[in-house]
Chain A
Amino acid sequence: MGSQIGKRTIKFKNPPNITAAYSVAGRKEKEGPFGQSFDLTFDDEHWGEKTYEQAERKIYLKAVESVIERANLKPDDISFLFGGDLLNQIIASGFAAREVGIPFFGLYGACSTMAESAILGSMAVDGGFARYVVCATSSHFATAERQFRNPLELGTPKTPSAQNTVSASGAVLLTSDRGRYPAATHATAGRVIDLGATDVNNMGAAMAPAAVETIICHLEDTGRGDNYYDVILTGDLGTFGTSLFHKLADDSQHDFSAVHQDCGSLIYGGDEKMNCGGSGCGCGASMLCGHFYKELVQERIKRLLFVATGALHSPTSALQGESIPCIAHAISIEMGYGG
């Protein structure tokens, strides 16, 4: 079983191996610069379903079923499914879990859910409570618009600082089985940080402080330097949030400019129509499980810190004028880690 080091970092004793990852993404994501790295893509946002919510459920279900299949396992072999999405009562995950029948821990960490799920899944595996677990999250442009902004029926334009919710899902399979795979070695749980941002159309700026706080705490707890990681990968700060991220890091005498990448800024390749880039749990999840997992397996990247940030507000709290509390969870994924 792992141990706690420093203020709030977990060091896994037997780092759980990520033996398989699977990503599903929509048409806009496929047309982006990382389109080829997704394992499965779909063209129509309904994907043959009657509603967008059913389509998101299908994205989630495909990712979970396919990652199990890719590891040559059956749903019965999996002890637990950890995951969530952005919808009320996390219906994409809950309804998908109904289909696969794996014992399910439903989580809500907004866009931080992928890291949150992976951390809890790793704890279950390293703690000896499970041999195989699956961690998965999803998001969908049309369901998120309905949930957090306006339904598509209203046809309202978006503000320039807004990001585009990614229609995608990602799933990882964690196991105690040994072998040379990318492994979860450390994890730092996020504190809820709120610097008083109230603009729901500028989520990146609200989340950047949480990302910086968690990363610095992680590096201090583990005694690692700013450039220990080949990549520090944030989930969905977007272009606006990324510039604030670097400024805040600079204010704390840190410099991540050489290693930092942001899934939200990468996924659409700076397409102007997408404003400040991508967002949503599916953004970080599909980029991690698509492009970056493959880079890890091929050892082009050996040390990756995945930092997924989430905004923990609701449409109600935002309309009542409350500020946006944010969280960032970090999980360190390393290839050939020796301890």
Chain B
Amino acid sequence: MNYLSAFLVGGAICAAGQILLSKTDLTPARILVIFVTAGVALTALGLYEPIVKFGGAGAKVPLTGFGYALAKGAYKAVDESGLLGALSGGVTATAAGISAAVLFGYIVAVIFTPKTRK
């Protein structure tokens, strides 16, 4: 059941991305930014939490999930250390993800050379 709900939620989010790629002239970079900020906004409005409860990793792994983690981190830090937490909390909560992206990106860039599709 978990798998199914994760698949439905994750698939729906990715399908939305594909529709934006195919049907609009938005660049991929803009779509990424829209997804992250949408995740933050939906979390702030309390709308993303139920989606995470239902979809689990299906909601957390796509880019909107990154926005969700940023917003959650900010809330948590505000509760713990006051208003300054709104600035520090987001990145603190997502530090592992950011570092992993940099580290693995670096490793892959060193090892592989991009090629055209066969």
Contact = CB atoms under 8 A, between A and B. Distances in A.
A177 interface: no
A65 to B, nearest CB: 25
A202 B116 CA distance: 21
Interface string A114-153: 0000000000000000000000000001100000001111
Interface string B14-52: 000000011001011000000000000000000000000
Contacts, number: 27
A199 B25 contact: yes
Contact of B116 (A152, A153, A160, A198): A152
A137 to B, nearest CB: 20
A160 B114 CA distance: 22
Contacts of A155: 114
Taking each of B21, B22, B25, B109, which has the highest tally of chain A beta carbons within 10 Å of its own beta carbon? B25
| Interface size of A as a range | 20 to 34
Q: What is the predominant secondary structure among interface residues of chain A facing chain B?
A: loop
B104 to A, nearest CB: 14
Contacts of B27: 150, 319
Contact of A159 (B21, B109, B114, B116): B21
B25 A160 contact: no
Interface string A24-57: 0000000000000000000001000000000000
Contact of A154 (B25, B28, B117): B28
Nearest to B25: A199
- Interface of B, secondary structure class, is loop
B116 A142 contact: yes
A152 B115 contact: yes
A225 to B, nearest CB: 38
Contacts of B109: 153
A313 B117 CA distance: 27
A3 to B, nearest CB: 44
A156 B28 contact: yes
Contact of B114 (A152, A200, A202): A152
A45 B113 CA distance: 12
A273 B117 CA distance: 10
A216 B27 CA distance: 35
List of 10 A-B pairs having minimum Cβ-Cβ separation, nearest first: A152-B114, A199-B25, A156-B28, A153-B114, A45-B116, A159-B22, A142-B116, A141-B116, A160-B22, A159-B21
22 contacts: A45-B115, A45-B116, A141-B116, A142-B116, A150-B27, A151-B114, A152-B114, A152-B115, A152-B116, A153-B109, A153-B114, A154-B28, A155-B114, A156-B28, A157-B21, A159-B22, A159-B25, A160-B22, A198-B25, A201-B25, A273-B117, A319-B27
Given A152-B114, A156-B28, 15 more contacts: A45-B115, A45-B116, A142-B116, A150-B28, A151-B114, A152-B115, A152-B116, A153-B114, A154-B28, A159-B21, A159-B25, A199-B25, A200-B25, A201-B25, A202-B25
